[in-house]
C-alpha cells in the first residue's frame, strides 16, 4: 500500500518529533510565533486574493527544517565575534 | 494595453476532471471570474464527407482522427442520446485512460477549444492534477506531462496544482487557507489538508461518481449513463425507498461516503508529520458527486461516528461546487 503524500517542508513541530535541547525548543517556539504572526496579519487582509498572495509568500520563505540553517542574525553575530577576537589577538601580539 | 489585450494575458485556471473540464478566467483585476466547461467525453463515427458536412452545418465540434469522425465535449452527449450509445471517456480515475487510444487527441481538442492560444507568450495557467490513490499507481506523472505537452505549444506557462489544494485556495480564505479541501468528482475523491496554504497531506480515494454509476447499473441492469442522469436529476441521499434505482444509488453513495470518511480519519491519524493545529479546521466539499441533497448530512454523520484526530470547526458544501477547483487553480495562477 502506498503512503499518502505528506509535505514536510516547514511543519516539523510534530507530536512524534522529539524536541532535543533548549535550542530546538527555541526554534520550534520561534516557528510557531512566526506562524501566529502570519495568521494574524493575514486576517487583517480583507481581499481573498491578497490574503492568499501574502500567506503563500510568507510560507514559501520558510526555510525547510531538514536543511536547517542558522538564522542570519546569529551568523552575523558569530562573524563579528570572530573578527573582534582576531583584532584583539593581533593587538595583544603587536 | 487595450482591454482585449489585457484580458488575453491574464492567467487561467483549468480543472482537468474525469467527467468535465472547466476553465476559469479572471475578467478583471477585481477578481470577477467567468467559467466555461465541456464534457470530457467523445463519440466516434465512421468518416464520410456527407456526415462531416452535416456536422459542420450544425456547428458541431468535431475532428477527424484516423478515418473516424470524433465528436467531443458537450456535443458528444447530445449525439450519444440521439444514437443511443454510451459516450467514451478520455480519462479514467483521474488520469488519462490507458485503454483509450483516442484519449490524448480528444483531450487536446477539448482543452484547446476551452483555453485557446495564450495570446501573450508565457501566460500563466494552473491545471489540476489528482493526488495519489492509496491502493495503486495511477501514472500521475505521465498524465501531468501529457497535459503540459498540450498546453506548452499553445504558449502557456502551465503549472500543476493538486485538486484538493485548489479547493482549499478557492474556498478557504476565511480560515487563512487552513483546512481540508475535498473534491468529490467522477473518477476520484481528492483530499488535501493544508495549513496556511501549504499542503500537508494529499491523497485520493478511488471510489467516486463513476463507481456509484457502474455499481448501481450492475445491480439494476441499467446503463451507467442512465444512473448518472438519475443522479443529476433529482436524487436525494436519504435512505431506502420503493424505487430500486434510487435504492441502488443510495447504497453506493453510502459506500463512497463511508470510505471517504474512514480513509480521511485513518490517513490523518497515521500521518507522521502532522503539524500541531491549535485551532479547529473547516472541511469543504466540492465536485458534482457532493451536490445531491443529503450528501453533506451523511458525510458529517460519518465523520462524527468515531473520534476524529483533529478538531473540525465546520463541514460545508462549496458555494459553487462544480467550479471550485477551477477557481482555486485560477487563484494560484493569479498569485
CA-based nearest residue in chain B for residue A62:
B198
How far is A6 from chain B, CA to nearest CA, in Å?
5
| Contact status, residue B150 vs residue B111, Cβ threshold 8 Å | yes
The cell numbers describing A91, all together, are 593587538
What residues are paired with B24 via a beta bridge? Answer: B13, B35
Measured between beta carbons, which residues in chain A are less than 8 angstroms from residue B274? Answer: 14-15
The cell numbers describing B192, all together, are 488535501
* B191 to B15, B70, B236, B298: CA distances (angstroms): 15, 34, 23, 18
Which residues in chain B (96-155) have CB-CB distances under 8 A to chain A?
A: 131-137
Which residues in chain A (14-73) have CB-CB distances under 8 A to chain B?
A: 14-17, 32, 35, 38-39, 42-43, 47-49, 51-53, 55-56, 58-59
Average pLDDT of the residues of chain B: 88
Provide mean pLDDT across the span B29-56.
86
Residue to substitute from B138, B193, B197, B277, interface A, most A β-carbons within 10 A: B197
Say what the pLDDT of residue B324 is: 95
Measured between beta carbons, which residues in chain A are less than 8 angstroms from residue B202? Answer: 4-7
Measured between beta carbons, which residues in chain B are less than 8 angstroms from residue A7? Answer: 198-202, 273
Rounded CA separation B167/B328 (Å): 6
Task: Look at the domain B3-47+60-163 and name its fold.
Answer: Nucleotidyltransferase; domain 5 (3.30.420)
Buried b or exposed e, range B315-332, using 16+ CB within 10 angstroms: bebbeebbbbbbbbbbbb
| Contact status, residue B54 vs residue B18, Cβ threshold 8 Å | no
Contact A49 B31 (CB under 8 A): yes
Measured between beta carbons, which residues in chain A are less than 8 angstroms from residue B196? Answer: 35, 38-39, 42, 55, 58-59
pLDDT digits (tens, 9 = 90+) for B5-39: 455 788 999 999 999 999 999 876 556 789 999 99
Q: Which of A88-92, B62-66, B119-123, B133-137 shows the lowest mean pLDDT across its residues?
A: B133-137
What residues are paired with B44 via a beta bridge? Answer: B70
Contact A56 B275 (CB under 8 A): no
Domains B3-47+60-163 and B169-317 share a fold: yes
Measured between beta carbons, which residues in chain A are less than 8 angstroms from residue B167? Answer: none
| Contact status, residue A11 vs residue B194, Cβ threshold 8 Å | no
Q: Is the pLDDT of residue B1 over 60?
A: no
For chains A and B, what is the number of CB pairs under 8 angstroms? 93
pLDDT digits (tens, 9 = 90+) for B80-99: 877 777 789 999 999 999 99
Greater confidence, A89 or B1?
Answer: A89
Rounded CA separation B25/B11 (Å): 7
Say what the pLDDT of residue A62 is: 59
> From edge to edge, which strands make up the β-sheet containing B312-317?
A5-6, B198-205, B189-195, B179-184, B281-286, B312-317
Could you tell me which of B332, B284, B288, B283 has the C-alpha nearest to residue B308? B283
Question: What is the H or E stretch that residue A5 is in?
Answer: strand A5-6
Say what the pLDDT of residue A7 is: 47
Which one of B173, B271, B273 has the shortest CB-CB distance to A48?
B173
Q: Which residues contact B36 (CB under 8 A, 6 or more apart)?
A: B22, B23, B25, B114
Q: A4 at the B interface (CB within 8 A)?
A: yes
Q: Which of A19-33, B50-64, B119-133, B272-286 shows the lowest mean pLDDT across its residues?
A: A19-33
pLDDT string in tens for chain A (94-residue length): 344 554 444 444 444 455 556 766 777 777 778 888 888 888 888 888 889 999 888 887 554 444 444 456 677 788 889 999 999 988 988 7
Residue to substitute from A37, A38, A49, interface B, most B β-carbons within 10 A: A49
Rounded percentage of chain B residues whose pLDDT exceeds 90: 59
Measured between beta carbons, which residues in chain B are less than 8 angstroms from residue A9? Answer: 198
Residue to substitute from B13, B179, B332, B335, interface A, most A β-carbons within 10 A: B335
Could you tell me which of B90, B86, B83, B74 has the C-alpha nearest to residue B51? B83
Contact A2 B200 (CB under 8 A): no
pLDDT digits (tens, 9 = 90+) for B152-205: 999 999 999 999 999 999 999 999 999 999 999 999 999 999 988 888 889 999
**Statement: B169-317 belongs to CATH 3.30.420.40:** yes
Q: A83 at the B interface (CB within 8 A)?
A: no
Q: Is B239 left (phi over 0), alpha (psi -120 to 50) or beta?
A: left
The cell numbers describing B19, all together, are 467527467
Contact B176 A43 (CB under 8 A): yes
Quick check: helix, strand or coil at residue A1? coil
Q: Is the pLDDT of residue B4 over 90?
A: no
Domain ranges of chain B: 3-47+60-163, 169-317
Q: Which value, to the nearest 10 degrees, does the dihedral of the CA atoms of residues B284, B287, B288, B293 take? A: 0
Say what the pLDDT of residue B215 is: 94
Rounded CA separation A32/A54 (Å): 17
CA-based nearest residue in chain B for residue A2:
B134
Q: Is the pLDDT of residue B272 over 80?
A: no
Q: B32 at the A interface (CB within 8 A)?
A: no
SS3 of chain B: the string is CCHHHHHCCCCEEEEECCCEEEEEEECCCCCCEEEEEEECCEEEEECCHHHHHHHHHHCCCEEEECCEEEEECHHHHHHHHHHCCCCECCEECCEECCCCCCHHHHHHHHHHHHHCCCCCCCEEEEEEECCCECCECCCHHHHHHHHHHHHHHHCEEEEEEEHHHHHHHHHCHHHCCCEEEEEECCCCEEEEEEECCEEEEEEEECCCHHHHHHHHHHHHCCCHHHHHHHHHHHCECCCCCCCHHHHHHHHHHHHHHHHHHHHHHHHHHHCCCCECCCCCEEEEEECHHHCCECHHHHHHHHHHCCCCCCCEEEEEECCCCCCHHHHHHHHHHHC
| Contact status, residue B289 vs residue B186, Cβ threshold 8 Å | yes
Say what the pLDDT of residue B277 is: 74
Q: Which residues contact B114 (CB under 8 A, 6 or more apart)?
A: B14, B21, B23, B36, B37, B38
How far is B182 from chain A, CA to nearest CA, in Å?
15
Say what the pLDDT of residue B299 is: 96
Q: Find the helix packing angle between B324-334 and A48-60, rounded to 10°.
A: 60
Task: Check residue A94 and report its DSSP letter.
Answer: -
How far is B186 from chain A, CA to nearest CA, in Å?
20
Rounded CA separation B165/B180 (Å): 8
CA atoms within 13 A on the CB side of B152: 8
Q: B29 at the A interface (CB within 8 A)?
A: no
pLDDT digits (tens, 9 = 90+) for B97-129: 999 988 999 999 999 999 999 888 889 999 999
Say what the pLDDT of residue A43 is: 87
Amino acid at each position: 500500500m502506498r503512503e499518502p503524500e505528506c509535505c514536510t517542508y516547514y511543519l516539523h513541530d510534530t507530536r512524534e518529533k522529539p524536541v532535543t535541547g533548549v535550542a530546538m525548543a527555541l526554534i520550534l517556539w520561534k516557528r510557531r510565533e512566526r506562524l501566529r504572526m502570519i495568521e494574524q496579519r493575514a486576517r487583517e487582509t480583507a481581499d481573498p486574493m491578497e490574503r492568499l498572495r501574502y500567506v503563500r509568500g510568507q510560507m514559501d520563505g520558510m526555510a525547510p527544517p531538514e536543511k536547517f540553517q542558522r538564522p542570519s542574525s546569529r551568523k552575523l553575530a558569530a562573524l563579528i565575534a570572530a573578527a573582534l577576537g582576531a583584532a584583539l589577538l593581533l593587538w595583544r601580539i603587536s | 494595453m487595450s482591454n482585449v489585450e489585457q484580458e488575453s494575458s491574464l492567467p487561467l485556471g483549468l480543472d482537468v476532471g474525469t467527467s468535465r473540464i472547466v476553465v476559469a478566467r479572471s475578467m478583471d483585476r477585481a477578481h470577477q471570474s467567468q467559467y466555461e466547461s465541456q464534457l470530457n467525453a467523445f463519440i466516434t463515427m465512421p468518416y464520410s464527407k456527407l456526415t462531416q458536412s452535416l456536422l459542420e452545418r450544425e456547428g458541431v465540434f468535431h475532428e477527424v482522427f484516423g478515418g473516424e469522425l470524433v465528436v467531443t465535449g458537450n456535443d458528444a452527449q447530445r449525439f450519444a442520446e440521439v444514437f443511443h450509445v454510451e459516450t467514451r471517456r478520455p480519462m479514467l480515475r483521474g488520469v488519462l485512460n490507458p485503454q483509450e487510444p483516442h484519449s490524448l487527441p480528444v483531450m487536446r481538442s477539448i482543452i484547446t477549444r476551452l483555453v485557446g492560444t495564450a495570446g501573450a507568450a508565457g501566460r500563466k495557467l494552473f491545471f489540476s492534477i489528482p493526488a495519489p490513490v492509496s491502493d495503486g499507481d495511477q501514472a500521475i506523472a505521465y498524465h501531468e506531462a501529457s497535459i503540459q505537452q498540450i498546453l506548452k505549444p499553445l504558449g502557456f506557462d502551465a503549472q500543476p496544482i493538486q485538486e484538493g489544494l485548489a479547493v482549499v485556495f478557492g474556498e478557504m480564505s476565511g480560515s487563512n487557507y487552513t483546512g481540508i479541501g475535498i473534491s468529490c468528482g467522477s473518477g476520484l475523491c481528492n483530499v488535501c489538508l493544508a495549513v496556511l496554504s501549504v499542503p500537508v497531506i494529499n491523497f485520493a480515494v478511488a471510489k467516486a461518481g463513476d463507481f456509484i454509476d457502474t455499481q448501481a447499473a450492475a445491480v439494476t441492469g441499467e446503463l451507467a449513463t442512465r444512473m448518472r442522469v438519475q443522479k443529476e436529476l433529482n436524487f436525494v441521499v436519504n435512505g431506502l425507498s420503493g424505487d430500486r434505482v434510487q435504492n441502488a444509488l443510495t447504497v453506493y453513495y453510502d459506500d463512497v461516503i463511508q470510505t471517504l470518511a474512514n480513509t480521511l480519519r485513518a490517513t490523518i491519524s497515521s500521518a507522521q508529520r502532522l503539524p500541531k493545529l491549535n485551532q479547529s479546521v473547516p472541511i469543504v466539499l466540492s465536485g458534482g458527486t457532493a451536490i445531491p441533497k443529503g450528501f453533506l448530512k451523511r458525510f458529517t454523520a460519518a465523520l462524527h461516528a468515531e473520534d476524529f484526530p483533529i478538531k473540525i470547526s465546520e463541514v460545508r458544501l462549496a458555494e459553487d461546487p462544480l467550479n471550485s477547483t477551477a477557481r482555486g487553480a485560477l487563484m494560484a495562477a493569479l498569485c
